[in-house]
Amino acid sequence: DADVTQTPRNRITKTGKRIMLECSQTKGHDRMYWYRQDPGLGLQLIYYSFDVKDINKGEISDGYSVSRQAQAKFSLSLESAIPNQTALYFCATSDLGLDTQYFGPGTRLTVL
Amino acid sequence: RKEVEQDPGPFNVPEGATVAFNCTYSNSASQSFFWYRQDCRKEPKLLMSVYSSGNEDGRFTAQLNRASQYISLLIRDSKLSDSATYLCVVFSMGRTSGTYKYIFGTGTRLKVLA
C-alpha cells in the first residue's frame, strides 16, 4: 500500500464550486505539504504544516485553505474554484529534521 | 532571475552514453540540495541528496559547487529506464524569519534512445 495517498485522483469541476482535496499518510511523519505543478513552472508550495497546530502559507496560498485534522491527514480546499487553479496537485510528507520529501500520486484538477 | 534554474532539454542520448545536467541556484544561504526524478504525470521521487563532498549512487553522481552556486548530476551508462524529468531542488530556512523554502527547478527532460 502507498505511504502517501491522495483523493480524488482526478476531478473536473466548475468555476465557483468548493473543492476539497485530501491527503493521508502512514509514514508517521510530522510535516506535510501541498504543492501545485503547472507545465513549465515546476512545483510551487501552497501550504505546509509542521504539526497539527502549525500551519504556514507557502508561495502561492491565495485562493486556498488547509486543515490538518490529525498527524496523518492534511486537506486542501479551494473555496471558490477558478480556471487558473487547473493543475496537478501533490501532497508530500517529511520527517522532522530531514528535508527529504515523499510525494503522493497527485490529484489532477480541472476547473471549467 | 529564477531561484533555481535548469536547462529544460530534452537531452536525447543513446543507450550507454554518459549525460550530465547542471542546476544553478541564487540563494547563497541555501542549506540542502537534492535531485528528484519525475516520470510523466507521476509524483516526484527522491533520486539522491547532494553533499558538499560529492556523492555517488551506482551510475549516478551528484556534485555541489557552493562557490559557483550550482549542483550537477552525472548519469553513466544510460538505460532506457532513465528516461524521465530530473528536478533540482534547493532548500533553505531563514534562521531569524523562519521562512521555509523548498524550491523546485522546472526540470530537465532526458530521453534515452535505443
Instruction: Judge: A100–B102 Cβ closer than 8 Å, yes or no.
Output: no
What confidence score (pLDDT) does residue A2 get? 66
> B10-31, pLDDT tens digit by residue?
999 999 999 999 999 998 888 8
Contacts of A66 (CB under 8 A, 6+ apart): A34, A46, A47, A49, A55, A74, A75, A76, A77
> B52-72, pLDDT tens digit by residue?
888 999 999 999 999 999 999
CA-based nearest distance A15→chain B, Å:
24
8 Å CB contact between A35 and A87: no
Confidence band, pLDDT 50/70/90 cuts, at residue A1: low
What confidence score (pLDDT) does residue B101 get? 78
Confidence band, pLDDT 50/70/90 cuts, at residue B94: low
Across residues A9-29, what is the average pLDDT? 96
Instruction: Judge: B42–A105 Cβ closer than 8 Å, yes or no.
Output: yes
Contacts of B1 (CB under 8 A, 6+ apart): B26
